[in-house]
Amino acid sequence: MGDQHNSDYPKYTEMKVVKTVLVEDEGAALRRLEKLASNISSLNIVGTAKSGRDAIQIINNTKPELILLDIELKDMTAFSVLASLKNSFKGQIVFTTAYNQYAIKAFEVAATDYLLKPYDEKRFSQAITRVIDRHGHLNIQKLTETLKHGFLQTRTSKFEIIEGAQIHYFYSEDIIWIEAQGYYCLIHKLDTTRVLLRKTLKEMELSLPSESFVRVNRSSIINKNYVEKESRNLMHQFFFLKGGFKVKKSSKYLE
């Protein structure tokens, strides 16, 4: 049985060992990625990072030949990380992402591969095969320009929220969820900042694009694109959102 299982995956033992850095902002995802990478003898893991800032330092210090790079980190995007490496990094990149709105075609052209979460062992192995088979080095300047262009092209149109005499402008993908706080609403953004507006949740609900946002309980509106999992027990159901947020689900608002 063991031989049959192994035959489904490429054999790496006689191939060149590739210095690799893993960048994932979620602890469980990083541990899983590290386990998958450790099972391939052609990958030598020389560093791991859970933030863009740490990634830049580790990559500059270790000069890897491959980066497995999460696109949306808590403190910055992959674009910001790469823009800081253009004078030092000469290897290859495999992107990992849970959000297919991020210019996947641009990544296919400029990067070695991308892994759309949740990916399995076989798909991970295929990506590493592409790394091993690919010759030459990545043009970081070209990649960052391609990534920037793709990132800007895939952003949704701005929408506005009126607060008294002020008008606030937002992009849907910048907001993870919104919670009611009395006569105010607290907006939790992807970049970890928060915005407090004097609006009721009902007023806020009428201002938001319905294709991205849904009210899930009396005091919460979530961005459907940032739901990572749902769970339930005998009494309650919850949405788990990017950034570690846990929001209760109410069937009353989701009928």
Residue 184 sits in the same domain as residue 109: no
Q: Could you write out the DSSP letters of every residue in 144-172?
A: HHHHHHHHHHTPPPPEEEEETTEEEEE-G
Residue 190 sits in the same domain as residue 68: no
pLDDT tens per residue across all 255 residues of the chain: 444 444 444 444 445 789 999 999 888 899 999 999 999 989 999 999 999 889 999 998 998 999 999 988 878 778 778 877 756 677 888 988 876 665 555 455 567 888 888 889 999 999 999 888 876 556 666 666 655 555 545 556 678 899 988 989 888 888 999 999 999 999 999 888 899 999 999 999 998 988 889 999 999 999 998 898 888 777 788 999 988 899 998 877 765
Selection from 183, 224, 225, 189 nearest residue 204 by Cα: 183
How much is the pLDDT for 155? 56
How much is the pLDDT for 8? 46
Angle at alpha carbon of residue 220, lines to 214 and 222, rounded to 5°: 40
Residues 6+ apart with CB under 8 A from 249: 216, 217, 230, 232, 236, 237, 238, 239
Residue 176 sits in the same domain as residue 148: no
How much is the pLDDT for 13? 40
How much is the pLDDT for 4? 44
Whole domain around residue 236: which residue ranges?
159-253
What CATH code is carried by the domain that includes residue 207? 2.40.50.1020
How much is the pLDDT for 101? 60
Q: Where are the alpha helices (DSSP H) in the chain?
A: 2-6, 27-38, 52-62, 78-83, 104-110, 121-133, 140-153, 201-207
Residue 189 sits in the same domain as residue 115: no
Q: How many domains does the chain have?
A: 2
Domain boundary among 153, 187, 217: 153
Domain boundary among 94, 125, 153: 153
CA dihedral 193, 196, 199, 200 (to 10 degrees): 80
How much is the pLDDT for 133? 82
Residue 103 sits in the same domain as residue 226: no
How far apart, in whole angstroms, are the C-alpha atoms of residue 207 and residue 201? 10
Residue 6 sits in the same domain as residue 122: yes
Residue 147 sits in the same domain as residue 172: no
How far apart, in whole angstroms, are the C-alpha atoms of residue 101 and residue 61? 32
How much is the pLDDT for 3? 45
What CATH code is carried by the domain that includes residue 72? 3.40.50.2300
Domain boundary among 128, 153, 178: 153
Residue 189 sits in the same domain as residue 94: no
- pTM for this model (two decimals): 0.54
